[in-house]
Structure 1
């Protein structure tokens, strides 16, 4: 079995490679793909094959996917450019005769009205039309989206536009383990997994941060335009701020809630909880 993992220089792709190695997949059968291969030197030293590719460069993608039996297709991060970039990957996978494509999508991609979901939906449709065998991993939010902001929460509290909506966030490591399970076991072709951890509201997030830190941290709910302005004032580009605020708008309406069942089944255990993630981050 040869497994090509794209996005291996990113957080999730790297964790998937590590998960495959822990599961006993020989390093020589794993290909780690990224734009800056200097960041993959340690994997190369452990026997993983390293290939450079950029989703915007069809030739580099075609070379990176040569001889792949399975492709772990980690979605791109450049919102607004991903539909075309992902099309390059699907075309290269079809030309290479890849036996299985495992794609990281977003929760409810086929019905979601999130701005972030549009390019995922296009990619899913093109995967289906390609004739390639595939599995869709529709990941909800990362817990790291929240735990990475703990210093700011302690200093300023938590703001958003999520209302009382519940988000089924899980750690990148749990999503990576689920992906590795799909890549190394049978019976997943054609499946669509809606993946997420135990759901919580941002008010409950504030309460857990308060409990563990001993500080009084509150959640302030804002209208979407006001939250967008707040993010811009914090230094985010306006388009990115609008996308994040829209994600909170969707969160309030249930767009990022999924039952925990699929992730728990793939992991063979309960996913990492919010409390555990905050404890580890602290």
Structure 2
């Protein structure tokens, strides 16, 4: 069985390949799809095959997928371009005869109003219409997304946000990667939907406490309005458009967009998900 992983030079894709190897998949049976071959030199040195193709190049993707049985489709990182990119990947996989696609979607996608959600919903529909068997890996937030709590905690003893008392069911990237590796190497996965939520869920003060554990000094969560949080992000150097998007995510998070009591993640990986403190460390 030959398995391809898109976005393999990125953090999540790299962890997926590590997890596949740890599960006994031979490196020669893994194809790492990358834009830049140099960024995957470490994988090539381990015997992983490289397929050089951007998400925009359907012909190159199709060539890279030749002989591939199963595909882990890591969602693209370019917000606003992902539906078109994922269309290319799905079409190329279908043309190459890939039998199963596991796609990294978003937790609670059916009800979430996170701005990231629309492209994930569109991609899930593309998969449903493709005729290729697929599994949905609806990933929660990465604890690593809150690394800013370390920086602001060290500098000011504070962690800023606009999520109120909401809780986030986060986990580490490596947890989601391991779950993807389990699904893509298991049988009868077509049509499966996994709501992948870490536990325990933490409030933003809980995340601040995790940062405090890492740096060894107290960190207090400062709850703000979305507009105030956007100003903080801009003050930290983010472009206004990006700051507005990230601040608005907290508006959705406050409404429960990233909270779930699902145990799918723990069930798949066979262990507790990684704590926020461990992930941030």
Bin of the TM-score, shorter chain as denominator length: over 0.9
The aligned residue for residue 274 of structure 2 is 272
**Cα contact 1:8–1:17 (8 A) shared by 2:** yes
The aligned residue for residue 210 of structure 2 is 208
Q: TM-score, normalised to structure 2's length?
A: 0.95
Structure 1 CA distance, aligned partners of 2:93 and 2:163?
38
The aligned residue for residue 185 of structure 2 is 184
Structure 2 CA distance, aligned partners of 1:123 and 1:166?
27
Structure 1 CA distance, aligned partners of 2:223 and 2:149?
17
The aligned residue for residue 235 of structure 1 is 237
**Cα contact 2:213–2:277 (8 A) shared by 1:** no
- 1:159 matched to 2:149? The reply is no
1:213 to partner: Cα distance: 3.5
User: Helix, strand or coil: the match of 2:138?
Assistant: strand
What pairs with 1:1-12 in structure 2 (closer than 5 Å)?
1-12=1-12
User: Helix, strand or coil: the match of 2:105?
Assistant: strand
What pairs with 1:1-282 in structure 2 (closer than 5 Å)?
1-147=1-147, 149-156=149-156, 157-198=158-199, 199-278=201-280, 281=281
Structure 1 CA distance, aligned partners of 2:79 and 2:56?
13
Q: TM-score, normalised to structure 1's length?
A: 0.95
1:220 to partner: Cα distance: 0.8
Point out where structure 2 has 5 or more consecutive residues left out of the alignment.
Answer: none
Alignment RMSD, CA only?
1.4
Point out where structure 1 has 5 or more consecutive residues left out of the alignment.
Answer: none
**Cα contact 1:116–1:243 (8 A) shared by 2:** no
